Amino acid sequence: MRRISQRCLSAVAGLAAALVVAPPVSAATSTPYGRPDTQQRTQVFQLVAKQTQSESLDLGKKGLSRGDELVIAEDLYRDGRRIGDHSVVCVHVHLDPDELQCVGTFALPQGQITSQALLHLPPAPSIDIAVTGGSGAFSSARGYVHTVPAGKTVRNLTFHLTLDASSGT
């Protein structure tokens, strides 16, 4: 069975971790997106994701094959304090070159943020992950998370979000 390298695992974990939100910088704008009268605000903030668990699941044919999964759990930190957690599931969709389709959810006190990305292996030095939605204060979230490795199981995340002003925080 072909094993996933630690760098690959770190990149996938970062991709997974790249999906959380907490409120730091914000600016209001008036742009028609959905409804013409919707006020929007942007948020840019940074978090650190630290992997706590991971497991590769060999499904179907023995050894690495399409459909095999990688499951990752991470804790999210701001200023050294744990503020939430993140879970991601990646499915191998192509082999040689390897590609994984990853879907993740970040759980924070204000709500959840969802994201997804197609990860090409070997991974790039940094990855931008699409924010696909959320719940609670993040129900109108869209944007991306820029993720950069900071060790084998740690990633620095910069969130670039646009939210409808009526969605909270």
Residue linked to tokens 């820029």: 146
Residue 32 structure tokens: 């028609």
What's the CATH code of the domain at 137?
A: 2.40.480.10
Residues facing 29 on adjacent strands: 40
Domain of residue 71 covers 6-167
Task: Average the pLDDT over 95-121 and give the result.
Answer: 95
Look at residue 96 and tell me if it is in a domain.
Answer: yes
Look at residue 157 and tell me if it is in a domain.
Answer: yes
> Mean of the per-residue pLDDT values for the chain?
83
Q: How confident is the model at residue 166 (pLDDT cuts 50, 70, 90)?
A: confident
pTM of the model: 0.78
> What DSSP character marks residue 123?
P
Write out 40-71 in H/E/C secondary structure.
EEEEEEEEEEEEEEEEEECCCCCCCCCCCEEE
Task: Average the pLDDT over 2-10 and give the result.
Answer: 48
Rg of the chain over all Cα atoms, to the nearest angstrom: 16
Look at residue 73 and tell me if it is in a domain.
Answer: yes
pLDDT tens-digit map of 65-107? 999 999 999 999 999 999 999 999 999 999 999 999 999 999 9
Q: How many domains does the chain have?
A: 1
Q: Backbone phi, then psi, for 143, in 5-degree steps?
A: 140, -145
Look at residue 1 and tell me if it is in a domain.
Answer: no
Quick one: pLDDT at residue 60? 87
- Taking the C-alpha atoms of residue 3 and residue 66, their distance in angstroms, rounded to an integer, is 14
Q: Is 13 helix (H, G, I), strand (E, B) or coil?
A: helix
- Taking the C-alpha atoms of residue 136 and residue 110, their distance in angstroms, rounded to an integer, is 6
Question: CB atoms < 10 A from the CB of 11, how many?
Answer: 25
Q: Is the dihedral of CA 16, 144, 107, 67 positive or negative?
A: negative
